[in-house]
Amino acid sequence: MASGGTFRNLLLVLPLYLALASLVGGEASRRFWIENDTFRKDGVPFQIVGGDVHYFRIVPEYWKDRLLRAKALGLNTIQTYVPWNLHEPEPQSWKFKGFTDIESYLRLAQELEMLVMLRVGPYICGEWDLGGFPPWLLTIEPALKLRSSDSSYLSLVERWWGVLLLKVAPLLYNNGGPVIMVQIENEFGSFGDDKNYLHHLVQLARRYLGNDIILYTVLSAHTF
């Protein structure tokens, strides 16, 4: 039979053990996926009510205000593009401060209990100059074949995503962050039909983000 002291110790330790078990179990069950054409969040069917709130079109001082306004409208998810030309205005000159501090923006969305669908391009369209491509891409000789399987172009995409996606990976929903889905390219169907290009982008995204993140695209005029 346990002594009185041992019994009291058990009573003290048991709540702590249960609390820790709950925390561990909560992290283990944190997951966003698709099952039977239904989004599921932590095992429960989930409906995305989303809209675009682009961090780079808003000064950081207004980020919280704009996100709260979106939330007040009933949104539970925001979408934002990531314009390559703002983050690499010159070759290997990386910008991630101020209104380009995408990590802070994503963390703020999470603090406000909003999810994120991240649209990483490399071409974003978005009514943005060159669809987000840095202008210096046009100065390279021989000329790059943008949005294609051109190896010279893809090597620059790989360099860019090698920086960006390393920042994004810890902020994926399954890793404890707010990002539930990542969009590859944008409206490619109205531009070309290079399937190898899209497949390469998928493989590259998987390299940095893993196999669990939901990848999607917008094809517009054509389908593959």
Cα separation of 206 and 8, whole Å?
51
What local confidence, expressed as pLDDT, does residue 60 receive?
A: 99
What DSSP assignment string belongs to 66-134?
A: HHHHHHHTT-SEEEEE--HHHH-SBTTB---SGGG-HHHHHHHHHHTT-EEEEE--SS--TT-GGGG--
* Closest by Cα among 115, 27, 102 to 71: 115
The 10s digit of each residue's pLDDT in 28-70 is 589 999 999 999 999 999 999 999 999 999 999 999 999 999 9
Average pLDDT of the segment spanning 70-87:
99
* Closest by Cα among 146, 45, 62, 151 to 98: 62
Residue 108 CB neighbour total at 10 angstroms: 17
The 10s digit of each residue's pLDDT in 162-180 is 999 999 999 999 999 999 9
pLDDT band at 23 (very low <50, low <70, confident <90, very high): very low
What local confidence, expressed as pLDDT, does residue 7 receive?
A: 41
What local confidence, expressed as pLDDT, does residue 183 receive?
A: 98
Q: Which of 175-179, 192-196, 203-207 has the lowest mean pLDDT?
A: 192-196
Strand 38-41 to 50-52 pairing: unpaired
pLDDT at 218 over 60: yes
Phi, psi of 105 (to 5 degrees): -65, -45
What local confidence, expressed as pLDDT, does residue 3 receive?
A: 52
178, 115 contact by CB (below 8 A)? yes
pLDDT at 22 over 90: no
pLDDT at 92 over 80: yes
What local confidence, expressed as pLDDT, does residue 224 receive?
A: 46
Percentage of the chain lying above the pLDDT 90 cut: 83
pLDDT at 15 over 50: no
Q: What is the pTM of this model?
A: 0.86
